[in-house]
Chains A and B, each alone.
Chain A
Amino acid sequence: DTAVSQTPKYLVTQMGNDKSIKCEQNLGHDTMYWYKQDSKKFLKIMFSYNNKELIINETVPNRFSPKSPDKAHLNLHINSLELGDSAVYFCASSQDIKLVNVEQYFGPGTRLTVT
C-alpha cells in the first residue's frame, strides 16, 4: 500500500485556470506538508498542517490555498495559474510536529505544467 499518494501525477493546464492536487496518507500521521520543487530542483516548504490546522504558510501567493478535510488529506488548490507555477509539487507527512518525529515521508510528486 502506498504510504503517501498524490493525484494526479501529471497535470498540464493553461494559464488562468484553477486546479487542485490531492494528497492522502495512510500512515496515521498528524502532520502534512506541501513542498514545491522548481526547475532547478530546489525544494522549498509551502505549507504545513497539524491535525487539520495550518501551522506554516510560507511566502506563497494567496492563489495557493491548502485544504485539509481530515488528518489524512491535504489538498492544494491553485487559482489563476501562471507560467511560474510550473513545478513539481510534493506532499509529505510526519508523525507529528515534535522534533523527534520530524522524519517525513514523501508522495511521488505531481508535475504541473502551465502553458
Chain B
Amino acid sequence: AQKVTQAQTEISVVEKEDVTLDCVYETRDTTYYLFWYKQPPSGELVFLIRRNSFDEQNEISGRYSWNFQKSTSSFNFTITASQVVDSAVYFCALSDPTGANNLFFGTGTRLTVIP
C-alpha cells in the first residue's frame, strides 16, 4: 500500500529565509509518480510539480526546487528566499496504481512566512 509521510505539520519562517519541506514515501511499485500541490488560504489545490520514479534529476523552477532521492524514498521541496505569498499548506502525493492512478496524499505541511 502507498504511504506518504510529511513529518513537519507546521513550519514558520521569516520572509527571505529558505525553507525545506520534507516528504518520505513508501511504495512497492517500481514505476510511480510523485507530486507536490500547494493549497493557499483561498482553498484551491495548485499543481506544482510531478516527477516519475526513473528521473532523479533535481528540478528548479524560479525560487522552487525539488530533490528526489530514491535511495532514501524522499522528495523534498525547497523554497528559496521565501515570500509571504508562499504561505500555504503544501501536499506531497504519490500515484496509486491499484485503481485509476488516483493520488495518495500526505497530511500536508502548513508553511507560514512572517513578514
Contact = CB atoms under 8 A, between A and B. Distances in A.
Task: Decide whether A and B are members of one complex.
Answer: yes
A94 B103 CA distance: 11
Given A41-B89, A102-B95, A33 B102 contact: yes
B108 A45 contact: no
Contact of A103 (B31, B43, B50): B50
Nearest to B29: A99
Interface in B1-53: 31-33, 35, 37, 39, 43-45, 47, 50, 52
A42 B50 contact: no
A105 B50 CA distance: 12
Residues of A in contact with B, size category: 20 to 34
A15 interface: no
Contacts of B103: 35, 43, 45, 92, 102, 104
Interface of B: 31-33, 35, 37, 39, 43-45, 47, 50, 52, 89, 91, 95-105, 107-108, 110
